[in-house]
Amino acid sequence: MQELFGKLADGTRIHRWSLENGGTRMKVLSYGGIVQSLEVPDRQGRYANVTLGFTRIEDYVDASPYFGALIGRYGNRIGKGAFTLDGSAYQLSVDDGENSLHGGEAGFDTVVWDVEPFERGTDVGLHLSYTSPDGEMGYPGTLTAKVTYTLTADGDWRIDYEATTDKPTVVNLTHHAYWNLAGEGSGTIGDHELAIPAAHFTPTDPGLIPTGELAPVAGTPFDFREPKRIGRDLRAGHPQLLAAKGYDHNWVLDKGITAEPQEVAVLRDPSSGRTLRIASTEPGLQFYSGNFLDGTLVGPAGRAYRQGDALCLETQHYPDSPNHENFPSTVLRPGQTYRSTTVHSFPT
Ligand code: GLA
């Protein structure tokens, strides 16, 4: 089902699609490819929207910290918004101190995507496409991005990303859902249990740019190899947690880049019994513990979002890869196709 959601200041009409399959319901906006809500049942079969969002387009345009949005051309930060490729230096739009975050000032979370619904066998979904002009936000090459959201008969939400370019460029697409499995507006995620199969993470400088080191998680608050309450070590006073106001780091997934999606995180809320299992082809996972939510935004339930009221699990290549030769490459060249897949399952 498609309906008019609202209009941008310039009159552009923003539509909203509602999808349902296998017990999962979601609403998607053409603006930013935003997943406005995602509803799944708890252990008693009661539905709740487990993602943060807004009810009005104006709030997304004015104040959204990437709630539910597609992120491009580059998920997470590029130091000083600068990199060199094939001997040419590029300066990107800088929107986070001196750094470029999530594609720059007007990233893929702020553009209007073309949306085509589809049904294929027992799947339902949406094809989203956007062509980013050569030079947009400082990135070289015309980037043709295609993202497919699929809801499967099992209630899985699958994202397939694809991109091509007409000049050498860098690309790192992801999705910025904020999860609270007890329901948005229900309080903090401190009691959610999280597991991440990663023996290393990428420590950052004070501007949250990776230093280049792959540090062991063993014996640190960053060890999520066994399921752990998010709140357990959050206040441990580790210098990396102090600098980021909590978790806001890239985990180096043990599995590396894979042809098929493999498990990268399991999140469980003991109170509701809801579980989110994420599988991906990507080598990295940004776990962000909602550190910048400061009680100034109000969600659909009419409740303010405060620090730690949700978390993000963003599948990705590592932040600032264009400036680190030891990180998996994010370079895309003409004739190549960028591909990435992430699957969210909600086992009960
Ligand atoms: C990502 C970043 C965080 C923050 C959030 C949005 O997770 O790593 O630092 O920018 O997005 O606020």
Over the stretch 221-273, which tens digit does the pLDDT of each residue have?
999 999 999 999 999 999 999 999 999 999 999 999 999 999 999 999 999 99
Residues carrying an active site annotation = 176, 314
- pLDDT number for residue 327: 98
Taking all residues of the chain, what is their mean pLDDT, rounded to a whole number?
A: 98
CA distance 206 to 225: 26
For the chain, the farthest-separated pair of C-alpha atoms sits apart, in whole angstroms, at 59
Amino acid identity of residue 283, one-letter, is P
Among residues 265, 267, 221, 218, the alpha carbon closest in space to that of 243 is found at: 221
pTM of structure: 0.98
Confidence of residue 24 (pLDDT cuts 50, 70, 90): very high
- Can you tell me the mean pLDDT for 17-36? 98
User: What distance in angstroms lies between residue 287's CA and the mean position of ligand 1's atoms?
Assistant: 9
The kind and range of the H/E element at 27 are strand 24-29
User: What distance in angstroms lies between residue 96's CA and the mean position of ligand 1's atoms?
Assistant: 10
The reply to whether ligand 1 has any atom less than 6 angstroms from the CB of 147 is no
Q: Give the 3-state secondary structure of residue 330.
A: coil
Task: Output the residue whose Cα is nearest ligand 1's atom 7.
Answer: 288
- In sign, the C-alpha dihedral spanning 251, 345, 129, 256 is positive
Residue 139 scores a pLDDT above 90: yes
Contact by Cβ (8 Å): 268, 227: yes
Segment 87-122, tens digit of pLDDT: 999 999 999 999 999 999 999 999 999 999 999 999
